[in-house]
Chains A and B, each alone.
Chain A
Amino acid sequence: LHPGCEFLFPQAPTMFAKCSQNSVSPVVLLVLLGFLLCPPAQASKSSEDIRCKCICPPYRNISGHIYNKNVSQKDCNCLHVVEPMPVPGNDVEAYCLLCECKYEERSTTTIKVIIIIYLSVVGALLLYMAFLVLVDPLIRKPDPYTQPLHNEEESEDTRSLATVPTPAGARANTVLERVEGAQQRWKRQVQEQRKTVFDRHKMLS
């Protein structure tokens, strides 16, 4: 669980602990994805969502052709779909043996919803990334108290001592300050991960 959760809610085996801004947004997005996909999966099929596709290769002097028709699965065979039949009646069976008919269905609403959700997630991440990289350093004054702490971050003991939750009396922060604190903690975590992976190459080669 997000360490911020243990800090803010030490007695929390709650199901959906909305701990911090940064763990809400991915959770909300994931849940949204899950629930938004259930209706499209059962959406009624519009006429452009099913088809029977018959591909017939060249035969004697007739060139190849593709036939599409909007029929149900039991009618998806050469006799129902290939219209007009290019060969006379006694050749129909030989011609139809060569044709291959497939029944296909798709859900256009699913595709539309998924692509649009995906693009909005990417857009939101892009905006947040632009904010973090460009705007955030400008509006935050560098805090003199956080600088010495960076050196001590290497020591595990101070870190482990720092994660012991303070007694309940000191929790007099407003919601905004708590969110700020959680975001700072998340940024520190990501920075630590970045150091491990990109700088020290300790993990993930």
Chain B
Amino acid sequence: MVNAGDMNGSGNLMDFLDEPFPDVGTYEDFHTIDWLREKSRDTDRHRKITSKSKESIWEFIKSLLDAWSGWVVMLLIGLLAGTLAGVIDLAVDWMTDLKEGVCLSAFWYSHEQCCWTSNETTFDDRDKCPQWQKWSELLVSQSEGASAYILNYFLYIMWALCFAFLAVSLVRVFAPYACGSGIPEIKTILSGFIIRGYLGKWTLLIKTVTLVLVVSSGLSLGKEGPLVHVACCCGNFFSSLFSKYSKNEGKRREVLSAAAAAGVSVAFGAPIGGVLFSLEEVSYYFPLKTLWRSFFAALVAAFTLRSINPFGNSRLVLFYVEYHTPWYMAELFPFILLGVFGGLWGTLFIRCNIAWCRRRKTTRLGKYPVLEVIVITAITAIIAYPNPYTRRSTSELISELFNDCGALESSQLCDYINDPNMTRPVDDIPDRPAGPGVYSAMWQLALALVFKIVITIFTFGMKIPSGLFIPSMAVGAMAGRMVGIGVEQLAYHHHDWIIFRNWCRPGADCVTPGLYAMVGAAACLGGVTRMTVSLVVIMFELTGGLEYIVPLMAAAVTSKWVADAFGKEGIYEAHIHLNGYPFLDVKDEFTHRTLATDVMRPRRGEAPLSVLTQDSMTVEDVETLIKETDYNGFPVVVSKDSERLIGFAQRRELILAIKNARQRQDGVVSNSIVYFTEDPPELPPNSPHPLKLRRILNLSPFTVTDHTPMETVVDIFRKLGLRQCLVTHSGRLLGIITKKDVLRHMAQMANQDPESIMFN
């Protein structure tokens, strides 16, 4: 039992011998962490381990294990993320084909796997084989004709509805946090916010399972954003196994940054792009140590995925292309046009999607999430089936659009008029005039483009896991391919125009429409997410073509400029603002000339600041103060007269400390004096035992003076990750500024002229 003690003097020793208050140091749900405290706790822990490591061999080994635990966590994250991505890819492959038919020899094969060993495939019908049958063939033994088409159509819709309904039910019953993309919430978590359960095990399981279901149901969404969430859940799970990370929220966020990199790495097969994405888009603080560890996690994840080999050709992504035909300077003009298109589309998408999501939040539309998913799936399936470009999965569509047409391609898009005497090798086919198939393909692509643009606005943000990379890339690829075919035909039919004469001779392979599709995809993705370097690196890792960096950069830069002209926020920042998360963006600039007095609380006319005194309040006073207010913490001053600041005490720790003291320490009653000094105050005899709470007091709270410009204050909050900051004047405590006050002030200022001077 703890003896509360020697009143005289051995205060410091008793502090160490006190039992640590339980749960001190953990945070409440939906609160911000204190970065400085986490960092200092980690430094303390490290110092303790280093000093103990000199004592014995066992302690030395423990210190080595502690140092390596970071790398072990990265390894485990990479393995699990790669495995889950492989599972998702294989399951999506199978279930997407399940909507159209089934493999009779072994039901777990997708269409391509079923026909793998078949000898009956011909050049014209290279997709057909007898083992794989469409539903109409299976049920009514007819494969052509109107009734077969209608039956296939009907069953396609039924399967899509079944998958979507199952997905939304699972999300609703087991893990409501598994819906959405996950990246806005992960950005907020990495900036220091706590959302308990968002990276939990059930969320991980449900998100993996339902992601397969929704992608297979044919909805216009992707799996890259949710894969980042899945990887961060893996990161959270493994970091909870090691006390170095489980007890320190700041260190845990380093692990989560690396896990996000692993997530993007398996989504795109781009380890370097993944690290850059984590650096640019997702992470808040990214120390250099995390850079190397993220790269390791991303590599391990990519390697694990490759060894599972979901696509049967040792590639990581379905649309890996590998041509090296050069591009010409004059083609920069259509590339820049595609960049402008990407920027415009990005702006349109963000505005419409945010408006629709705001509708969902505030009106009755939000009360019917399951019905909404079912209606959108039905609409998507009904409109998508007739058009062959929307009937197949979006990844396959992008793959076909990225690929260049050789002599072997059988798709309509490659229905060029061939010269029968041609004997050129496969990858050097010259430009050819378009056949009728190409024209009908262009019409279908145009319709598919309009459809995708419209339906993605309503799909992103529903209560199912939904990502946005693949639909954006699809929109861009479709637009790019159409522009590419247009330029190609223009170059073929008018090869004597000045523009083409220099670089495009008849009989040469000048224009590659597949490259235009890639550039379009990069432009649209950049317009929506406002990624810069990471986008270019991901695209060139996807294609393996270093010579295409300049067109990709041109398109990405153009789309970012055009999109930024209309609005500064990318889609993820827009969703953060829509939901009101306390995220202090490092990219926002604060240019107003307000001072700390304008933002601090209490304002003029409000109740004075609730403070604790250092040794003149009783336990009952403190409890009343806690009950009557809901502030997160209280400054501690010398006395009510001289408001000189001593420190800052957190609400949660006060509650726990008082509760603990009432239970454990003898003699602590409601009339006991609470003191925060080293030595107890002078008390009259027969007064109850005082309660020392110096242990929970933060003796170094951040303070600014009342005339500090808000620019500096915002900078301090951003760079140090503060939760609150005290405002003093001549040493006297005036007020407090919390992170929420800063955010509200910035929002308020954004609606006003930055030059107007605010002195109130």
Evaluate whether A110 and B28 lie within 8 angstroms (CB atoms) in the complex, with A189-B197, A203-B185 already known.
no
Q: Decide if B195 touches A66 in the complex (CB within 8 Å).
A: no
Query: Is B369's beta carbon under 8 Å from chain A?
Result: yes
Q: Mark B75-93, 1 if CB is under 8 A from A, else 0.
A: 0000110011011001100
| Nearest-CB residue, chain A, relative to B307 | A41
Q: Decide if A34 touches B425 in the complex (CB within 8 Å).
A: no
Evaluate whether A37 and B308 lie within 8 angstroms (CB atoms) in the complex, with A129-B169, A133-B173, A164-B23 already known.
yes
Query: Is A2's beta carbon under 8 Å from chain B?
Result: yes
Q: Decide if A157 touches B113 in the complex (CB within 8 Å).
A: no
Bound CA span A198–B80, Å:
30
Q: Decide if A205 touches B659 in the complex (CB within 8 Å).
A: no
Q: Decide if A204 touches B185 in the complex (CB within 8 Å).
A: yes
Q: Decide if A132 touches B87 in the complex (CB within 8 Å).
A: no
Query: Is B205's beta carbon under 8 Å from chain A?
Result: yes
| Nearest-CB residue, chain A, relative to B626 | A157
Q: Decide if A132 touches B123 in the complex (CB within 8 Å).
A: no
From residue B279, how far is it (CB to closest CB) to chain A in Å? 25
Query: Is B408's beta carbon under 8 Å from chain A?
Result: yes
CB-contact partner of A13 in B212, B246, B313, under 8 A: B246
Query: A64 — which chain B residues lie within 8 A by C-beta?
Result: 122-124, 408
Query: Is B357's beta carbon under 8 Å from chain A?
Result: yes
Q: Mark A168-199, 1 if CB is under 8 A from B, else 0.
A: 00000000000000000010011001101110
Q: Decide if A34 touches B80 in the complex (CB within 8 Å).
A: yes
Query: Is A72's beta carbon under 8 Å from chain B?
Result: no
- The interface-forming segment of B175-183, B447-455, B554-562 is B175-183
From residue A162, how far is it (CB to closest CB) to chain B in Å? 11
Query: B83 — which chain A residues lie within 8 A by C-beta?
Result: 33-34, 37
Query: Is A141's beta carbon under 8 Å from chain B?
Result: no
CB-contact partner of B170 in A66, A125, A203, under 8 A: A125
Evaluate whether A193 and B176 lie within 8 angstroms (CB atoms) in the complex, with A51-B117, A160-B655 already known.
yes
| Nearest-CB residue, chain A, relative to B173 | A129
Query: B652 — which chain A residues lie within 8 A by C-beta?
Result: 160
Q: Decide if B123 touches A98 in the complex (CB within 8 Å).
A: no
Q: Mark B184-201, 1 if CB is under 8 A from A, else 0.
A: 010000000001110011
Q: Decide if A105 touches B122 in the complex (CB within 8 Å).
A: no
What band does the interface of chain B fall in when counting residues whose beta carbon is under 8 Å from A? 35 or more
Chain A stretch 131-167: residues in CB contact (< 8 A) with chain B:
132-133, 156-157, 160-161, 163-165
Q: Decide if A66 touches B123 in the complex (CB within 8 Å).
A: yes
Q: Decide if A204 touches B173 in the complex (CB within 8 Å).
A: no
From residue B212, how far is it (CB to closest CB) to chain A in Å? 7
Q: Decide if B627 touches A161 in the complex (CB within 8 Å).
A: no
Query: A51 — which chain B residues lie within 8 A by C-beta?
Result: 116-117
Query: B392 — which chain A residues lie within 8 A by C-beta?
Result: none
Q: Decide if B176 touches A205 in the complex (CB within 8 Å).
A: no
Q: Decide if B28 touches A63 in the complex (CB within 8 Å).
A: no
CB-contact partner of A115 in B94, B197, B202, under 8 A: B94
Q: Decide if B243 touches A10 in the complex (CB within 8 Å).
A: no
Bound CA span A14–B678, Å:
37
CB-contact partner of B108 in A29, A106, A111, under 8 A: A111
Evaluate whether A66 and B126 lie within 8 angstroms (CB atoms) in the complex, with A118-B87, A129-B169, A193-B176 already known.
yes
| Nearest-CB residue, chain A, relative to B578 | A205
Q: Decide if B80 touches A197 in the complex (CB within 8 Å).
A: no
Query: Is A81's beta carbon under 8 Å from chain B?
Result: no
Query: Is A77's beta carbon under 8 Å from chain B?
Result: no
From residue A190, how far is it (CB to closest CB) to chain B in Å? 7
Query: Is A18's beta carbon under 8 Å from chain B?
Result: no
CB-contact partner of A63 in B123, B126, B179, under 8 A: B123
CB-contact partner of B423 in A94, A161, A193, A205, under 8 A: A94
Query: A30 — which chain B residues lie within 8 A by C-beta?
Result: 80, 201, 204-205, 237
Bound CA span A125–B169, Å:
11
Q: Decide if B201 touches A26 in the complex (CB within 8 Å).
A: yes
Bound CA span A116–B243, Å:
36
Query: A27 — which chain B residues lie within 8 A by C-beta?
Result: 201
Q: Decide if A193 touches B177 in the complex (CB within 8 Å).
A: yes
From residue B235, how far is it (CB to closest CB) to chain A in Å? 13
Q: Mark B88-117, 1 if CB is under 8 A from A, else 0.
A: 001100100000000000101100010011
Query: A100 — which chain B residues lie within 8 A by C-beta?
Result: 406, 408, 426
Query: Is B757's beta carbon under 8 Å from chain A?
Result: no
Evaluate whether A104 and B312 lie within 8 angstroms (CB atoms) in the complex, with A33-B83, A98-B423, A114-B90 already known.
yes
Bound CA span A59–B205, Å:
53
CB-contact partner of B240 in A1, A107, A112, under 8 A: A1
Query: A26 — which chain B residues lie within 8 A by C-beta?
Result: 201-202, 204-205
Query: Is A65's beta carbon under 8 Å from chain B?
Result: yes
Q: Decide if B312 touches A57 in the complex (CB within 8 Å).
A: no
| Nearest-CB residue, chain A, relative to B91 | A118
Query: B179 — which chain A residues lie within 8 A by C-beta?
Result: 197, 204
Query: Is A39's beta carbon under 8 Å from chain B?
Result: no
Among A10, A16, A55, A105, the one with the most B-chain Cβ atoms within 10 Å of its Cβ is: A55
Bound CA span A179–B417, Å:
71
Q: Mark B461-482, 1 if CB is under 8 A from A, else 0.
A: 1010000000000000000000
Q: Decide if A22 touches B202 in the complex (CB within 8 Å).
A: yes
From residue B363, how far is it (CB to closest CB) to chain A in Å? 10
Evaluate whether A161 and B655 lie within 8 angstroms (CB atoms) in the complex, with A26-B204, A122-B209, A194-B172 already known.
yes
Chain B stretch 235-271: residues in CB contact (< 8 A) with chain A:
237, 240-241, 243, 246
From residue B587, how far is it (CB to closest CB) to chain A in Å? 21
Q: Decide if B423 touches A132 in the complex (CB within 8 Å).
A: no
Bound CA span A100–B237, Å:
46
Query: Is B324's beta carbon under 8 Å from chain A?
Result: no
Q: Decide if B205 touches A198 in the complex (CB within 8 Å).
A: no
Chain B stretch 258-313: residues in CB contact (< 8 A) with chain A:
307-309, 312-313
From residue B703, how far is it (CB to closest CB) to chain A in Å? 27
Query: B655 — which chain A residues lie within 8 A by C-beta?
Result: 157, 160-161
Query: Is B119's beta carbon under 8 Å from chain A?
Result: yes
Query: Is A83's beta carbon under 8 Å from chain B?
Result: no
Bound CA span A125–B173, Å:
10
Q: Decide if A65 touches B122 in the complex (CB within 8 Å).
A: yes
Q: Decide if A57 touches B123 in the complex (CB within 8 Å).
A: yes
| Nearest-CB residue, chain B, relative to A54 | B408
From residue B275, how far is it (CB to closest CB) to chain A in Å? 24
Query: B369 — which chain A residues lie within 8 A by C-beta?
Result: 198
Query: Is B493's beta carbon under 8 Å from chain A?
Result: no
Among A22, A37, A186, the one with the most B-chain Cβ atoms within 10 Å of its Cβ is: A37
Query: B426 — which chain A residues lie within 8 A by C-beta?
Result: 97-100
Query: Is B323's beta carbon under 8 Å from chain A?
Result: no
Evaluate whether A193 and B408 lie within 8 angstroms (CB atoms) in the complex, with A118-B91, A161-B655 already known.
no
Bound CA span A99–B458, Å:
45
From residue A55, how far is it (CB to closest CB) to chain B in Å? 5
From residue B197, how far is it (CB to closest CB) to chain A in Å? 6
Query: B575 — which chain A residues lie within 8 A by C-beta?
Result: 205
From residue B155, how far is it (CB to closest CB) to chain A in Å? 19
Known: A56-B123, A198-B369. 8 other contacts (CB 8 A): A26-B205, A55-B123, A58-B123, A68-B119, A116-B108, A118-B87, A156-B630, A161-B655
17 A-B pairs (CB sep. < 8 Å): A10-B22, A13-B243, A13-B246, A30-B80, A34-B80, A41-B308, A55-B126, A56-B123, A64-B122, A64-B408, A110-B308, A118-B91, A132-B173, A133-B173, A164-B660, A196-B176, A204-B185
Chain B residues near A (Cβ < 8 Å) = 22-23, 28, 79-80, 83-84, 86-87, 90-91, 94, 106, 108-109, 113, 116-117, 119, 121-124, 126, 166, 169-170, 172-177, 179-180, 185, 195-197, 200-202, 204-206, 209, 212-213, 237, 240-241, 243, 246, 307-309, 312-314, 357-358, 360-362, 366, 369, 406-408, 420, 423, 425-426, 461, 463, 575, 578-579, 626-627, 630, 652, 655-656, 659-660
Chain A residues near B (Cβ < 8 Å) = 1-3, 6, 10, 13, 15-16, 22-23, 26-27, 29-30, 33-34, 37, 41, 48, 51, 55-58, 60, 63-66, 68, 94, 97-100, 102, 104-108, 110-112, 114-118, 121-122, 125-126, 129, 132-133, 156-157, 160-161, 163-165, 186, 189-190, 193-194, 196-198, 201-205
